[in-house]
């Protein structure tokens, strides 16, 4: 049985998962289209942000349903439906005549495909029989690579055509990816596997997992950790404008910088998770704390402009690296501690930590800025959360050593 699974889950599912994450990279570049949508529909920033917000909420809080769907219908159906919905979402959005219609086509249809694709691709990595960390790292690196390539492609298209043409081309591209990914996957069911960290077959049901102290600590520590990456992803450019009076991170450059950092973070984390286990996650928490600490210095320091600029860029780099690392490590940790039989459902529950973190890193950051006219306060909140997350994950590490 194990040899059969090794053969089936070797290369092709990793390629398929990578391509799904490539498509998901389109979610990261929504800001490229905001100004075009405002001009086209004569509406404000809040209205053009609503499709992104709807898709974000579906991604963050649909984990339990998506996990059940993957387990019930298998990887092949999930791969097909996720990429198909993302492609159709873009195609329908290119034909819309109002923001409300885009809320339905992009926010809901694309958002469901985004959520299903995210959990499906991650599942293909964590059930890999040989190298879970590396497989997952390769798969999720597709997100950053997709964001970079699709951002460059979209920018070129927008130079000579409308956003509608841009959406239509991306939609067709995703439907092609849909066919390729579906052909690569056989519809194997997710069954019981031995954990590479234990001689026992782990089989935690979602309810059993929720009752453990370990899960509470893991969920809380990742909730704290995700806030830094989401803050940078949604507010990096205005933060740089406030404290550096810099326009370097406007538009496509900021997206590419964070995406490349995230790519390396995902690949490095995948390798070291297989090499040294959860010790590396402790290091990620420490690096994340250091990164937001540097950004906090930028907000209060009276050092020279060169030093502050260096701190800002180093902080941004480390935030991108660690955020990518946390994305990779969460599903692997869930599989290690709670088993792979229910990994898709259990990971979906754990992923709600990112959904709640988005309310702080994105929404609350914008709200506090409107109230205080500065990002200093929210950066200090993120610093406190990073310290708390580090301490909680140290507790997880100590629980493992006791066992």
Per-residue pLDDT of the chain (403 residues; tens, 9 = 90+): 444 545 444 678 888 899 999 999 888 777 778 778 888 888 775 677 778 878 878 887 887 788 788 878 888 888 899 999 999 999 999 999 888 999 999 999 999 999 999 888 887 876 665 666 777 778 888 888 888 899 889 888 988 889 999 999 999 999 999 888 888 876 555 444 444 444 455 678 888 999 999 999 999 999 999 888 777 666 676 677 777 765 555 555 666 777 788 888 888 887 888 777 778 888 898 999 998 888 888 887 677 778 887 888 888 888 888 988 898 888 888 888 888 777 778 888 888 888 788 777 766 776 777 678 788 888 888 899 999 999 999 888 777 655 5
Reading the block at residue 169, the tokens are 């081309």
CB 264 within 8 A of CB 148: no
Answer yes or no: do 121 and 215 share one domain.
no
Q: Is residue 288 part of a domain?
A: yes
Which pLDDT does position 2 carry in this prediction?
44
Answer yes or no: do 224 and 84 share one domain.
no
- CA quadruple 373, 374, 377, 382: dihedral, nearest 10: 130
Please say which residue of 153, 184, 215 terminates a domain.
Answer: 184
Answer yes or no: do 19 and 82 share one domain.
yes
Q: Is residue 24 part of a domain?
A: yes
State how far the Cα of 330 lies from the Cα of 325, in Å rounded to an integer. Answer: 9
Answer yes or no: do 378 and 315 share one domain.
yes
Reading the block at residue 331, the tokens are 């599903």
State how far the Cα of 68 lies from the Cα of 109, in Å rounded to an integer. Answer: 19
Q: Is residue 196 part of a domain?
A: no
Answer yes or no: do 211 and 116 share one domain.
no
Which pLDDT does position 186 carry in this prediction?
66
- Kindly report the backbone phi and psi dihedral angles of residue 340, in degrees, each rounded to the nearest multiple of 5, phi listed first: -105, -10
**How many domains are contained in the chain?**
2
Q: Is residue 198 part of a domain?
A: no
Answer yes or no: do 74 and 22 share one domain.
yes
Q: What separation in angstroms does the CA of 74 have from each of 116, 124, 132, 135, 307?
A: 12, 11, 19, 19, 52
Which pLDDT does position 231 carry in this prediction?
76
Q: Provide the residue range defining the domain that includes 56.
A: 2-184
Answer yes or no: do 68 and 211 share one domain.
no
Rg of the Cα atoms in the chain: 20
Q: Is residue 331 part of a domain?
A: yes
Dihedral sign from CA coordinates of 41, 160, 83, 6 = negative
Please say which residue of 150, 184, 218 terminates a domain.
Answer: 184
Q: Is residue 276 part of a domain?
A: yes
Answer yes or no: do 178 and 241 share one domain.
no
Q: Is residue 189 part of a domain?
A: no
Answer yes or no: do 123 and 233 share one domain.
no
Q: Provide the CATH number for the domain around residue 287.
A: 1.20.1250.20
In 3D space, the residue among 142, 146, 80 whose CA is nearest the CA of residue 113 turns out to be: 80
Which pLDDT does position 199 carry in this prediction?
46
Answer yes or no: do 15 and 135 share one domain.
yes
Answer yes or no: do 232 and 378 share one domain.
yes
Answer yes or no: do 262 and 173 share one domain.
no
State how far the Cα of 395 lies from the Cα of 217, in Å rounded to an integer. Answer: 8
Q: Is residue 194 part of a domain?
A: no
């Amino acid at each position: 049985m194990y040899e059969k699974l090794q053969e089936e889950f070797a290369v092709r599912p990793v390629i398929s998962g990578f391509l799904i994450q490539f498509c998901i990279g389109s979610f990261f570049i929504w800001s490229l289209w905001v100004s075009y949508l405002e001009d086209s529909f004569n509406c404000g920033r809040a209205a053009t942000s609503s499709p992104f917000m709807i898709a974000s909420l579906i991604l963050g809080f649909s984990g339990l349903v998506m996990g059940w769907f993957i387990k019930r219908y298998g990887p092949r159906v999930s791969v097909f439906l996720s990429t198909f919905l993302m492609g159709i979402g873009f195609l329908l959005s290119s034909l819309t005549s109002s923001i409300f219609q885009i809320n339905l086509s992009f926010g809901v249809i694309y958002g469901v495909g985004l959520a299903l694709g995210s959990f499906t691709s991650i599942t293909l990595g964590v059930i890999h029989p040989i190298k879970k960390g590396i497989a997952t790292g390769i798969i999720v690196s597709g997100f950053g690579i997709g964001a970079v390539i699709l951002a460059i492609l979209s920018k070129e298209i927008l130079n000579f055509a409308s956003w509608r043409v841009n959406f239509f081309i991306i939609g067709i591209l995703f439907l092609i990816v849909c066919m390729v990914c579906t052909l690569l996957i056989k519809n194997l069911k997710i069954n019981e596997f031995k954990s590479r960290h234990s001689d026992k077959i782990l089989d935690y049901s979602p309810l059993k997992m929720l009752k453990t102290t370990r899960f509470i600590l893991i969920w809380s520590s990742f909730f704290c950790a995700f806030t830094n990456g989401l803050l940078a992803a949604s507010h990096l450019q205005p933060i740089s404008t406030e404290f550096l009076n810099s326009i370097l991170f406007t538009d496509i450059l900021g997206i590419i910088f964070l995406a490349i950092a995230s790519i390396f973070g995902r690949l490095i984390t995948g390798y070291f998770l297989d090499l040294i286990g959860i010790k590396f996650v402790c290091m990620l928490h420490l690096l994340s704390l250091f990164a937001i600490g540097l950004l906090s210095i930028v907000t209060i320091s009276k050092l020279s402009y060169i030093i502050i600029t260096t701190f800002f860029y180093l902080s941004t780099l480390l935030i991108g690296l660690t955020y990518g690392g946390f994305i990779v490590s969460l599903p692997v940790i869930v599989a290690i501690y709670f088993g792979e039989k229910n990994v898709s459902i259990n990971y979906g529950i754990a992923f709600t930590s990112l959904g709640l973190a988005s309310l702080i890193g994105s929404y609350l950051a914008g709200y506090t800025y409107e109230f205080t006219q500065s990002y200093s306060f929210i950066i200090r909140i993120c610093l406190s959360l990073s310290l708390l997350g580090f301490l909680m994950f140290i507790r997880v590490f100590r629980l493992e050593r006791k066992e």
